[in-house]
Amino acid sequence: MSKKAAPPKIPPAATAALIAAGRLFHQRGWVPATAGNFSVRLDGKSLAVTTSGRHKGELTETDFMRVDLQGRALDAGKRSSAETLLHCQLYRHSPQAGAVLHTHSPASTVLSRKHDSIRLAGYELLKIFEGIQTHDTVVEVPVFENDQDIARLARGVDAHMRTGRAPHAYLIRGHGLYAWGRTVEEARHRVEALEFLFECELHERLLKATGD
Ligand SMILES: [Zn+2]
């Protein structure tokens, strides 16, 4: 009888990339206090995710743990982020997803409280997304209702994505952004682009509101 294969170890390069992303995001004001959570896929059955309650600007190698794609802990004595099931949903849904980054910026928080979806149209930076070669396009970022029942929230996101929508990212109302990529670097670029675009949208909507 073959023994059940042990989950892969977390590659040091992956934790280093997530630690660096956390520092950058904290400097930019996108992960205040212990907000946000990050993960990287290990293989077809497991991922490494930040442990619960850690400050994302001050992460160390010990602030990550392995869980399976159902969110069950594979490392004893550690508790994963409360939102682990949202990461699991993305890895299950998208075989290409290799890293998932979640931020709580002021722009995404404010915009998601006001709108059911954020329409990003005509921006040069939209070319960062796969399959987009021109600014002359529209990306809709859906907003899901916030829910402390993360399993229920993950089911709602999954049902939405099964219809082919939200291919790039989504927001949770009054809460923040989920973005992903094939690598930590690609996911980080997408977060940087989206947070920039949300800030632009916020400024533009404020200008419109003041009649400028
Ligand atoms: Zn969150």
Virtual torsion, Cα 107, 108, 111, 116, nearest 10 deg = 170
Tell me the per-residue pLDDT of 17-60, one tens digit each, with 9 for 90 and over.
999 999 999 999 999 989 999 999 999 999 999 999 999 999 99
CA 44 to each of CA 69, 96, 179: distance values in angstroms, whole numbers, following the listed order = 8, 10, 19
* Backbone phi, psi, residue 166, to 5°: 55, 50
Q: Which pLDDT belongs to residue 129?
A: 86
Residues of the chain with pLDDT under 50: 1
Distance (angstroms) between ligand 1 centre and the Cα of 37 equals 7
Q: Which pLDDT belongs to residue 108?
A: 96
Predicted TM-score (pTM) of the model is 0.94
Distance (angstroms) between ligand 1 centre and the Cα of 153 equals 12
Distance (angstroms) between ligand 1 centre and the Cα of 30 equals 11
Distance (angstroms) between ligand 1 centre and the Cα of 91 equals 17
Q: Which pLDDT belongs to residue 166?
A: 67
